[in-house]
Amino acid sequence: MTATPLLTVDDLWVRFPGRAGLVEAVRGIGFEVGREKLGIVGESGSGKTMTGRAILRLVPRPGRVTARRLEFDGIDLLSIDERSMRRIRGRRISMVMQDPKFSLNPVMSVGKQIAEAYRAHFPAGAREARERALAMLAAVRIRDPRRVYDLHPHEVSGGMGQRVMIAMMLIPEPDLLIADEPTSALDVTVQLKVLAILDDLVTRRGMGLIFISHNLPLVASFCDRVLIMYGGRILETCRAAELHAARHPYTRGLLESLPWIDRPVRELATLERDPAWHDGPLA
């Protein structure tokens, strides 16, 4: 943990008005992110995706975000106007979503989209933006950047599409990257390559990374610290390398319900959900 955090979140709530009253997707969570790899893990409905979206003020309507503090590099993200927010979004805090198919423009070549992402944030000519985009495609381990530059989204594979997305999000050199299941749709070998790119950006450039995932073993081996979310709350925070020694019964239950290649069991443990995890004390 660095001395001055890049992002400070304190008492963050995300609420959605519904027919049966207010649905609370995120319930009063707090954490800090430095120039590190912070994992947020949880099952579907845990609030992990809404947490990532709330930081960028991308919670869909009619959702409402409140917090005692939501501060990025000394900027109060809740009080600034939408124009100022747009200067931060993409340029300083960027987000990679799970499925590239829905995030890329289908009628523009992928290279142009990356170049455009660069020009949206920096005063650069078309040629310079193109050179930057080609360099970025090479940086995300695309073998033939010149050929791929001219392809349209439907012409690239899922793994390549996700790397294109990551190139687009990284080209403005953000200080903080929020990656929501960025590698879940990828084959394990491609996944590893993409993670190595993110890893290098954190260690070499000092970027902060929030890595949202349902994959506990992956987060344990990749991140520095992990938050475990359940029912909109953070149940437990620990060093990623010590996730196997997690104390909260929910975290323990999740770990025990997983099959492992080198630890055979006859039957997998199933999770007995305790109502106290929803409102009870935190670990």
- Report the 10 Å Cβ neighbour count for 79: 9
Binding piece for other proteins, criterion CB under 8 A, among 9-17, 148-156, 170-178, 195-203:
195-203
Site string for other proteins, 200-239 (x = CB under 8 A): --------------x-xxx-xxx-----------------
* Min separation Cβ 79 and other proteins, Å: 36
**Could you say which of 199, 224, 237, 252 contacts other proteins (CB under 8 A)?**
199
**Could you say which of 187, 205, 206, 247 contacts other proteins (CB under 8 A)?**
187
Name the strands in the sheet holding 93-96, side by side, starting at the edge strand that comes first in the sequence. Answer: 93-96, 176-180, 208-213, 37-41, 225-230, 233-239
CA atoms within 13 A on the CB side of 205: 16
What span, in angstroms and rounded, lies between the C-alpha atoms of 77 and 231? 24
CB contact set of 223 (below 8 Å; sequence gap of 6+): 37, 38, 39, 211, 240
Q: Which residues, numbered 118-137, are part of the site for other proteins (CB under 8 A)?
A: none
Q: Does 253 bind other proteins (CB under 8 A)?
A: yes
Q: How far is CA 275 from the centre of its chain?
A: 28
Site string for other proteins, 50-89 (x = CB under 8 A): ----------------------------------------
Q: Does 282 bind other proteins (CB under 8 A)?
A: no
What span, in angstroms and rounded, lies between the C-alpha atoms of 123 and 43? 42
* Min separation Cβ 71 and other proteins, Å: 30
Q: Indicate the DSSP class of residue 89.
A: B
User: Which stretches of the chain bind other proteins, using CB under 8 A?
Assistant: 43-44, 158, 187-189, 191-193, 195-196, 199, 214, 216-218, 220-222, 253-254, 257-262, 264-265, 267-271
